[in-house]
Amino acid sequence: MTCEISQALLHGYLDGELDPLRAEEFERHLESCSPCIAKLEEQESLRASLRGAKLYERAPAGLAKKIQREIANTRSESDYQWTWVPIFRWIAASAAIVLVMVITYFGVGRIFSGNSGVEQAALTEVIDAHIRSLQPGHLTDVTSTDQHTVKPWFDGKLNYVPPVRDFAENGFPLIGGRLDVLNGRSVAVLVYGRRKHFINVFVWPESSSESAIALTGARNGYQWNYSRAHGMEFCAISDVSATDLHDLSELLQE
Amino acid sequence: MLEPADRQRFERMVMPHQDAAFNLARWLLRSRADAEDVTQEAMVRAFRFIGSFHGVDARAWLLQIVRNACYTWLEKNRRTDLMTEFDETIHLQPTQSPEAAAVASNERERLMKALETLPARSREVLVLRELEGCSYKEIATITSIPIGTVMSTLARARDGLKRVLSPSTTRDASGKEVHRDV
């Protein structure tokens, strides 16, 4: 690891945001790099003084009252009653609705559907299945790095054919596949490796043909990434970094 | 009518984060008075859109609205704040004047001033990380920048802060202190 690379990593390390493997790599680097040790100490003391200086400023005492007074006279967007709204309200309401749509479409929706797009329950199932798969002997039903072995294995076990590709040259070697159950239905799972970590990719046919979307998130220490491509929906889950998972997701969508 | 339910949801999920909202606005706008106005406006907006919030992280959702309100406010009232990139010749000057040096004897004042000299985009990630204790993921959500960029922005912001706090010395690659002309 060159010092050049470790400069950004140093901050990820300081913040405890590196995945275990990269953190370990960085610690190994620290053993032999005194400038990095000095820099880390410098940053730690900067952080200590920032936190010690009590810079956090709480809302003034009267603010909550002011807000409550104002919302007492405000309707939430779902409450507009069309029959008796005066004309200016119509205009304001339609402008607000356009705004809601724009915000929902471009901002809030995109980002927060991360919590609702893949339904919470489904996400819990995916995480449980991922954890189960890490028990000895549960990871794969068919173990092969050859896509031409893994793909035919699914034949006849499912009513669809998942796309199976090996991404070894991109750093995500195919390890194998297995059947798992999501939402009461059998789905294909492709297992990829990333350094010493495993990534489970759940694949099932697209239920409605919307345009390509990708959602990501983290839960219980696992990163997940949901995407659609080639008429399939993919949900990748692992303890690798979000960036790694994102890279794999791009490959799946190619 | 959804009204009572919406009001309850807002009270339960959003109101508890009003300090977080105010703190972010205060640091982005560098003024308590302006922050109070913008926080109020953003909280009311959050109330109006509570029906479109289906996530779990209400704090990040609210802070995203607050941040947008702050940038809109700056755009309208103080555009220069958004255009100023970090520039040592401008930002380091205040710390060199005698009055500033006197003020700087107070550590809190000194850090506060230093933080305020950083460009808004650096300041916000530092405030979210160090004062609000947000994870990279949350910062990415609030600021709509990729997680990888959060890490590099934080690196730049902290280095910038370090430079403002000790403008006359810096460390070279071997960790030795080097004096610069300022």
Assembly ipTM: 0.80
Fold (CATH) for A119-253: Phosphorylase Kinase; domain 1 (3.30.200)
Please write the tens of the pLDDT for every residue from B30-54: 999 999 999 999 999 999 888 888 8
pLDDT of residue A211 exceeding 80: no
Left, alpha or beta for B144 (phi > 0: left; psi -120 to 50: alpha)?
A: left
CA distances from A24 to A4, A18, B135 (A): 17, 9, 20
Chain A contacts of B12, Cβ < 8 Å? none
pLDDT at B92: 47
Residue B138: pLDDT band (50, 70, 90) is: very high
Q: Which of A71, A81, A111, A118 to mutate to test the interface with B (most CBs of B within 10 A)?
A: A71
Residues 6 or more apart whose CB falls under 8 angstroms from that of B166 comprise none
Q: Is A160 helix (H, G, I), strand (E, B) or coil?
A: coil
**Is B56 close to A115, i.e. CB distance below 8 A?**
yes
3-state helix, strand, coil split of chain B in percent (to 5) is 75, 5, 25
CA distances from A167 to A173, A175, A180, A190, A249 (A): 5, 10, 22, 12, 11
pLDDT at B170: 46
Q: Considering only A182-196, B16-30, B77-91, which range has the smallest mean pLDDT? A: B77-91
Please write the tens of the pLDDT for every residue from B113-126: 999 999 999 999 99
Please write the tens of the pLDDT for every residue from A99-144: 767 665 554 434 434 444 445 667 778 888 888 888 777 888 888 8
Identity of the residue in A42, A70, A217 whose CB atom sits nearest the CB atom of B162: A42
CA distances from A37 to A13, A17, A27, A43, B168 (A): 12, 18, 10, 10, 22
Q: Is B178 helix (H, G, I), strand (E, B) or coil?
A: strand
Chain B contacts of A12, Cβ < 8 Å? 136, 151
Contact A163, A230 (CB under 8 A): yes
Query: Nearest residue of B to residue A218 by CA position?
Result: B137
Phi, psi of A135 (to 5 degrees): -65, 150
Contact A217, A116 (CB under 8 A): no
pLDDT at B58: 93
Question: What are the residue boundaries of the structural domains of chain A, listed by start?
Answer: 3-52, 66-111, 119-253
Q: Which of B4, B44, B3 is closest to B21 using CA atoms? A: B44
Domains and CATH numbers, chain B: 1-83 (1.10.1740.10), 85-182 (1.10.10.10)
Residue A199: pLDDT band (50, 70, 90) is: very high
